[in-house]
Amino acid sequence: MTKILTKHFDEPKLHELETYKRLDGYKGLEKALTLAPAEVTAEVLKSNLRGLGGAGFPTGAKWGTVPPVDKVPGPRYVVVNADESEPGCFKDRVLLTRAPHQLIEGLLIAAHAIGAKEAFIFVRGEYQNQYDIIEKAVKEAEAAGYTKHAKLMLMRGAGAYISGLDTALLETMEGKKAWPRQPPPFPTVAGLMAKPTVVNNVETLSMLPFILREGGEAFAKIGSAKNGGTVVFSVSGHVEKPGIYEVPMGSKLRDVLTLAGGVRKGHTLKCVIPGGTSMPPLMEKDLDLALDFDQIRAAGTFLGAGGMIVLDETADAVAVAHNIERFLTHESCGQCTPCREGSYWNEEILERMLHGKGTPEDVPNMTRIGENITGKVICALGDTVGMVTRAYIQRFPEDFKKRISDGQKS
């Protein structure tokens, strides 16, 4: 199967510059620097690369919205979002650990494309091991002369999931509470310190060396329609071989599950969360679904950041929804009332159901709460708060019914 990012992962010293260079490392950057910035963006547009941090926005199109220097003079920035914290996602951690130079090369390509003289790598605080690796790799890249066109700086987060949302990440970087901004303006117009800023995920940027080296068309050819290249799934939960698996965009859910060794022995599949716990689950009937941003969306859920959690028949939908709502309650930034209060209400109701005190009003109440959150808040976390429990209620009504104590109020 075609691999791009994890192709050389059997090389034990891939994280070192010498090994990375031997395997065509920094050739993409060298090529990019011979091109005009607009030509680099054009190549990325051709590649159909989509934002792999979760939103799936076409990367070349995002870069294209950065105003040109002659119209808006002054600094512009590229920020690497390495604040991976969506439950189920760990591919960025592996990419940072195993292939830091691939990311740095991609970042330097992006900096050239939008004319950024300064670029930032924002790493979640709990990835101190990975921070050390990337810090060392940045020093190697500097010493080798690759960073002449853009200075690289590192920064750490402080434990907030919401910092991983682009505008909240920028607020964190500005030394503020991680409260998402209400766009417009989008970060590419007014981002870090109100300067044009491109925020891209680790995996997205790591794709750029290949795109520049082999050409955008070669990358587009690997994937499916409008979804170029590959995607790295983080697979965990009730599977035999949890880990990361890189597959071409548009691969079947069934095939990704097979790579991960299938559902653990002696058990049967209940559902698969495709992109991290914020995404509604896919069912057994979806096993032949082609996994890319558009086809997953048509099936009523999202590719997200590829954090695939497999659940077998032992998982109870009420307990799973409770775990997710508890997470969301903890991570809601508190800015929008529907999300702040709604996540807590849902968590409390689900907790009551878990303790055998569910009432017949609980499901209609949670449905109504959900309907009053999604679409009425600033950011995607809030949308999720309203969506997740409803998704489990809709797919597993029996699990919820079992928790209602004979219609008696307790």
Residues found near another protein in the complex (CB under 8 A): 75, 84-90, 92-93, 118, 124-129, 153, 155-161, 172-178, 193, 234-238, 242-244, 273, 277, 307, 309, 311, 315, 320, 323-324, 327, 330-331, 333
d(CA 338, CA 44): 38
Rounded distance between C-alpha atoms, residue 264 and residue 274, angstroms: 17
- Nearest distance from residue 82's CB to another protein, in Å? 10
Nearest distance from residue 152's CB to another protein, in Å?
12
Nearer to another protein, 187 or 250 (CB): 187
Tell me whether residue 118 or residue 348 sits nearer to another protein (CB atom).
118
Does residue 62 contact residue 198 with C-beta atoms inside 8 Å? yes
Contacts of 8 (CB under 8 A, 6+ apart): 14, 23, 99
Between 170 and 349, name the residue whose CB sits nearer to another protein.
Answer: 170
The answer for residues whose C-beta is within 8 angstroms of residue 4's C-beta and 6 or more apart is: 207, 210, 219, 222, 229, 230, 246
Q: Which is nearer to another protein, 52 or 212 (CB)?
A: 52
Query: CB-wise, 177 or 355, nearer to another protein?
Result: 177
Q: Which residue lies nearer to another protein by CB, 44 or 315?
A: 315
Nearest Cα residue to 102 out of 167, 184, 7 = 7
**Minimum distance between the CB of residue 243 and another protein, rounded to whole angstroms?**
5
Nearer to another protein, 17 or 160 (CB): 160
- Minimum distance of another protein from residue 355's CB (angstroms): 15
> If we measure between CA atoms, which residue out of 115, 109, 7, 120 comes closest to residue 49?
109
Nearer to another protein, 13 or 176 (CB): 176
Cα distances from 227 to residues 19, 273, 309, in angstroms, run: 30, 20, 22
Element (H, E) at 29: helix 27-33
Written as six digits, the tokens of 286 are 């979806």
Is there a contact between 152 and 142 (Cβ–Cβ < 8 Å)? Answer: yes
Identify which of residues 334 and 397 has a Cβ nearer to another protein in the complex.
Answer: 334
Cα 159 from chain centroid (whole Å): 17
Question: Does residue 87 contact residue 276 with C-beta atoms inside 8 Å?
Answer: yes
Residue 125 Cβ, how far from another protein at the closest point, in Å? 5
Q: Check residue 269 and give left, alpha or beta (phi > 0: left; psi -120 to 50: alpha).
A: beta
Closest to another protein by CB, 119 or 222: 119
Q: Smallest gap, in angstroms, from Cβ of residue 102 to another protein? A: 18
Task: State the minimum distance, in angstroms, from the CB of residue 388 to another protein.
Answer: 11
**Minimum CB–partner distance for residue 394 and another protein (Å):** 19
Strand residue runs (E) in 50-96: 77-82
**211 vs 279, which CB is nearer to another protein?**
279
Residue 167, sorted as left (phi over 0), alpha (psi -120 to 50) or beta, turns out to be alpha
- SS3 of residue 200 by DSSP: strand
Q: Are 277 and 324 in contact (CB under 8 A)?
A: yes
- Dihedral sign for Cα 209, 210, 213, 217, please: negative
Min CB(193)–another protein separation in Å: 6
Quote the least distance from Cβ 308 to another protein, whole Å.
10
Distance CA(119)–CA(106), nearest Å, equals: 11
Q: Rounded to the nearest whole angstrom, what is the least distance from the CB of residue 27 to another protein in the complex?
A: 30
